[in-house]
Structure 1
Amino acid sequence: MSKIVVVFHSGYGHTRRVAEQVAAGAQAELLAIDAEGNLPEGAWDTLAAADGIIFGTPTYMGGPSWQFKKFADASSKAWFTRAWQDKVFGGFTCSASLIGDKGATMMALQTLGSQHGGLWVSLGLMPSNATASTRNDVNSLGGSVGLMVQCPSDAGADQIPQGDLDTATRYGERVAAIAARLRA
């Protein structure tokens, strides 16, 4: 079995909820980036030992949160030593709008994984884009690069659409399955 780590920042609890769903699907360990952009003690060692790393951040003002960006910048030490070379990477983001410039955040996450010499895992799910589709369907936002979730700005994390949560679980499963296949 592969060791997967979900490293994420959550400003209001929505991204944490999604991280928990992704982690459940991947049977992964959660590492939360705190409000100051720092990781808990030993987290860098945990990331170095992982077979796969899944990044998670809200989309704020068209990109990752500054706390996630601080983590990304701090990962330059791992980049310099190629500590994450050939790991499997994935990523997800949440914003209040259906689109909300999540694509720009996804590109930042994919670029970060690529800079580390990793292998990026796409969402791998067909979009639910027929007339009969609802927000409770899997991949109702039509993502492909990674997981995109809509988190209503006036609602708690418990009101994230079920289709997005189901998509999160499936994405975690996909990342873990690909990491296991590459590890074999």
Structure 2
Amino acid sequence: MKISILYSSKTGKTERVAKLIEEGVKRSGNIEVKTMNLDAVDKKFLQESEGIIFGTPTYYANISWEMKKWIDESSEFNLEGKLGAAFSTANSIAGGSDIALLTILNHLMVKGMLVYSGGVAFGKPKTHLGYVHINEIQENEDENARTFGERIANKVKQIF
């Protein structure tokens, strides 16, 4: 089984979180995972992936223009039936990450993907719509990102 983690990052914060999520996926075992910036996507690996986690910085309470452009122009990929999840980074709690996550999830559903977050089913960290990493909060955030990755990987194994 394979999971792709696609992200856009200008400052390196979202890339850092993508790598933490990758560590969590690896904890699950028996899943190949590849973390890719949107400008360097391994198309074959992505198409073979059962799960895809999308990550974006939050800009003006929404996704990055790079993520929007990739989603708009990704018609070459058949994402139908794959498990999708989302994460975002933000500089503050009220930075609009929930809107960024909903934007990604909306696009994933339009593309026919299954959407999963773990919600509150497993207790803390509660991920409701997806994982949000607040850059100004450091306590437990790195481990929360890993936990999110592990939960998504476990669900991919359960479904596929």
Give the C-alpha shift of residue 62 in structure 1: 1.3
- Aligned with 1:177: secondary structure? helix
The aligned amino acid for 2:115 is: W
Q: Measure, in 2, the Cα distance between the counterparts of 1:4 and 1:71.
A: 18
Give the C-alpha shift of residue 125 in structure 1: 4.1
Q: Measure, in 2, the Cα distance between the counterparts of 1:146 and 1:123.
A: 8
- Matched ranges for 1:28-47 at <5 A: 28-33=33-38, 38-40=39-41, 43-47=42-46
Q: Measure, in 2, the Cα distance between the counterparts of 1:14 and 1:113.
A: 23
Residue 98 of structure 1 corresponds to 93
The aligned amino acid for 1:167 is: N
Q: Measure, in 2, the Cα distance between the counterparts of 1:176 and 1:15.
A: 19
| TM-score, normalised by the number of residues in structure 2 | 0.88
Give the C-alpha shift of residue 20 in structure 1: 0.4
Change (3 A) 1:127 1:181: closer
Residue 30 of structure 2 corresponds to none
Query: Does residue 58 of structure 1 match 2:57?
Result: yes
| Contact 1:8 1:57 survives alignment (8 Å) | yes
Query: Does residue 150 of structure 1 match 2:127?
Result: no
Give the C-alpha shift of residue 13 in structure 1: 0.8
Give the C-alpha shift of residue 168 in structure 1: 0.8
| Contact 1:89 1:121 survives alignment (8 Å) | yes
How much identity, in percent, do the aligned residues show?
27
| Contact 1:58 1:93 survives alignment (8 Å) | yes
| Contact 1:7 1:30 survives alignment (8 Å) | yes
- Matched ranges for 1:116-127 at <5 A: 116-125=111-120
Listed as ranges, the gaps of 5+ residues in structure 2 are 27-32
Residue 172 of structure 1 corresponds to 149
- Aligned with 2:119: secondary structure? coil
Give the C-alpha shift of residue 119 in structure 1: 1.1
Instruction: Report how many residues are paired.
Output: 154
The aligned amino acid for 1:71 is: W
Residue 48 of structure 1 corresponds to 47
Deviations 1:27-46 (A, max 9, x none): 2210112xxxx334xx2222
Q: After alignment, is 8-17 or 162-171 more displaced? A: 162-171
The aligned amino acid for 2:37 is: A
Higher Rg of the two aligned structures: 1
Give the C-alpha shift of residue 71 in structure 1: 1.0
Listed as ranges, the gaps of 5+ residues in structure 1 are 129-137, 153-159
RMSD: 1.9
| TM-score, normalised by the number of residues in structure 1 | 0.77
